[in-house]
Amino acid sequence: NAGVTQTPKFRVLKTGQSMTLLCAQDMNHEYMYWYRQDPGMGLRLIHYSVGEGTTAKGEVPDGYNVSRLKKQNFLLGLESAAPSQTSVYFCASSYSSYNEQFFGPGTRLTVL
C-alpha cells in the first residue's frame, strides 16, 4: 500500500496564479482532510470530506476550494494564489472520525 500520496511535492507560484494539489489514498478511507502548517501556527484544517461527493469547511477555508469526486482522491484548489498561502500543505485520511489520521508527505508551496 502506498498510503497517502500528494502531488506535487514542491511548487512555486506567482501571485494570482492558480493550481490544484492532489491527494490520493489507497486505504478505502471515508474521511479526508487538507491542513496547512505554518511556523508558530501549527496545523490548521482547511477543508475536509466525510465521503465521496461531500466537502465541508474547516478552520481556514478562505481562498481554497476542494472536490471529492472519487473516494480515493481529494483535490485542493487555489484559484488566485496569494503570498499568505505560502505554506506546507498536508493531506490526511482516516477510516472514521474516531480513528487515527494517516498523513501524506506534504506539499511545500511558495507564492511570490
Partner 1 sequence: SQELEQSPQSLIVQEGKNLTINCTSSKTLYGLYWYKQKYGEGLIFLMMLQKGGEEKSHEKITAKLDEKKQQSSLHITASQPSHAGIYLCGADIGYSNSGYALNFGKGTSLLVTP
Residues at the site binding partner 1, with contacts judged by CB under 8 A? 4, 33, 40-45, 48, 50, 56-59, 90, 92, 97-98, 100-106
- Strand segments, DSSP code E, in the chain are 4-7, 10-13, 19-25, 31-38, 42-49, 56-57, 65-67, 73-78, 87-94, 102-103, 107-111
- Minimum separation from the CB atom of position 16 to partner 1 (A): 28
Beta carbon nearer to partner 1, 56 or 82: 56
- Measured from the CB atom, the residue of 71 and 108 that comes closer to partner 1 is 108
Cβ-based nearer residue to partner 1, 40 or 62: 40
Q: Rounded to whole angstroms, how far apart are CA atoms 90 and 76?
A: 10
